[in-house]
Structure 1
């Protein structure tokens, strides 16, 4: 008998309550419809992103029979925007993700967690829970090693948060898109860049500012010494033009018990946007390998 592939559902972003807040999510192929051998893949976006930041990747993977969940972190997309920056911390991110998966009936040991940049940092910390079958980290880091570095970055993050509040989203996006880390995106077609810009402009001023304060790199707990606790397979993806994160990934790969590091040609920090077909193929093959 052939493998059952569920019919793809065209879903929209909805909200669920987790730990007293609303979390936005996009879901393709419900868990109860899935064949037991099909992967459940959970996506966590980067700073200024949302669940639809991963499209059309999510739809393509869903047509392969995967159960796809894209979560929206606090201050982004359709999720709540608490006034207290402490509600955005890494510890709360982990608790919210696990609560969401429990609500969605995704059991421990079933899901593969994928995170990009900020979402990669969140995914890495969340993987310490032992809840996941495997982890894919795109342009991620375990934090800043020294207290001095973290304090310097915390001050920088606070200054940027204040600028977002003072000058608004339009001025912030202008600044954000000029950062050297995104220079490789200038090679992309104007239409693609315009789509990304419009998605960034839909963000909430307070949400972005408090996200920086609560879960920015300066506020992130450094977990270099805990990487060996993540014993499941880990796939590290970095773009060849993003030398800083290539170096970070090489260092992390030495500490995980099971890991591989792929450097993607023709891409910088945002591989899934700059080389979507390559990214999709790598993710799909890895997810089926670890099932």
Structure 2
């Protein structure tokens, strides 16, 4: 069942928050950008963020004849917490949302950062529902044995800490949720100061958008962020080789969050991968290249 969010803005072309009631009774929030009659691109947000991290771009979407359906993972925004979150469970949630919206045909799928792994899971587990995949500054699944060998020492250490000291991470995410709720401007300023130059520049330019997205991302006392991290660290539950849709990997050569070294390896495991390196750009590259990304994706979708 589909219901408008209480904060829904019905202005034509502007982002529309909605809530879908899933078959098991849970609520899943989403934001729809663009005309509901247009072909669909599904967007998976990054870690600690939400469906609000996209530029509204109503004129761009209208010119392309495209709508973007951005989903909030469990425990984010208006989505209920789901402790058993996994890549397969959220792929199933995504299909349930598409069914609730009456979207039957293949869609484009985009994923930024860890959202890229969720995009791959959807394409691998429901290939008939996916026409094309675009991975934007994507990560690797931390819990897959083969991919683990390619992780940096930093990411191996972060995975170890997440699994070995879950109480500490839960406490950290609870504290961060309070900071985002009480002091959002101060908190995003703190994160910007910690960023590499390429990320800091773009984040500052889109400061309000990313701030509001993070506030929603850390809703529910940070429970959704914690569960997302746990899912990321466990075995992924799908095989990347099962992805058959054409897949474009957009990655900046100056990415300070997920270094580009692993991207050729990831591409080697995807049957129809195409690398799209962006010189000098960082982890937030999707914000600077949104028109190019959507234009290419629209060309890969059925008319």
Task: Give the TM-score category using the shorter length.
Answer: 0.7 to 0.9
**Deviation by residue 1:26-80 (Cα, 9 ceiling, x = unmatched):** 22222xx34xxxx421111112222221123466224421132111111112222
Which residue in 2 is equivalent to 1:139? 137
SS in 2 for 1:25: strand
**Deviation (angstroms), 1:202:** 4.3
Q: 1:154 touches 1:218 (CA, 8 Å); kept in 2?
A: no
SS in 2 for 1:186: helix
Q: CA RMSD in A?
A: 3.2
TM-score using structure 1 length: 0.79
SS in 2 for 1:52: helix
Counterpart check, 1:287 vs 2:291: no
- Residues 100-111 of structure 1 correspond to what in structure 2 (within 5 A)? 100-108=97-105, 110-111=106-107
Closer/same/farther in 2, CA of residues 155 and 183 from structure 1, 3 Å limit: farther
Which residue in 1 is equivalent to 2:108? 112
SS in 2 for 1:48: coil
Counterpart check, 1:14 vs 2:18: yes
CA distance in 1, matches of 2:165, 2:116: 20
Q: 1:75 touches 1:81 (CA, 8 Å); kept in 2?
A: yes
CA distance in 2, matches of 1:94, 1:215: 16
Q: 1:49 touches 1:77 (CA, 8 Å); kept in 2?
A: no
Consecutive unaligned residues of structure 2, counting only runs of 5 or more, are 1-11, 150-155
Q: 1:158 touches 1:212 (CA, 8 Å); kept in 2?
A: no
Closer/same/farther in 2, CA of residues 127 and 59 from structure 1, 3 Å limit: farther
Counterpart check, 1:24 vs 2:29: yes
Closer/same/farther in 2, CA of residues 140 and 58 from structure 1, 3 Å limit: farther
Counterpart check, 1:256 vs 2:270: yes
Q: 2:177 touches 2:222 (CA, 8 Å); kept in 1?
A: no
- Residues 236-275 of structure 1 correspond to what in structure 2 (within 5 A)? 236-242=249-255, 244-273=258-287, 275=288
CA distance in 2, matches of 1:97, 1:188: 29
SS in 2 for 1:15: strand
**Deviation (angstroms), 1:123:** 1.1
SS in 2 for 1:76: coil
**Deviation by residue 1:106-163 (Cα, 9 ceiling, x = unmatched):** 124x201111112111111121121211111112233134489454443366533321
Which range moved further: 72-81 or 140-149? 140-149
SS in 2 for 1:43: strand
Which range moved further: 14-23 or 52-61? 52-61
Counterpart check, 1:96 vs 2:105: no
Aligned residues, how many?
271
Which residue in 2 is equivalent to 1:177? 191
**Deviation by residue 1:167-186 (Cα, 9 ceiling, x = unmatched):** 64317946982686654232
Which residue in 2 is equivalent to 1:4? none
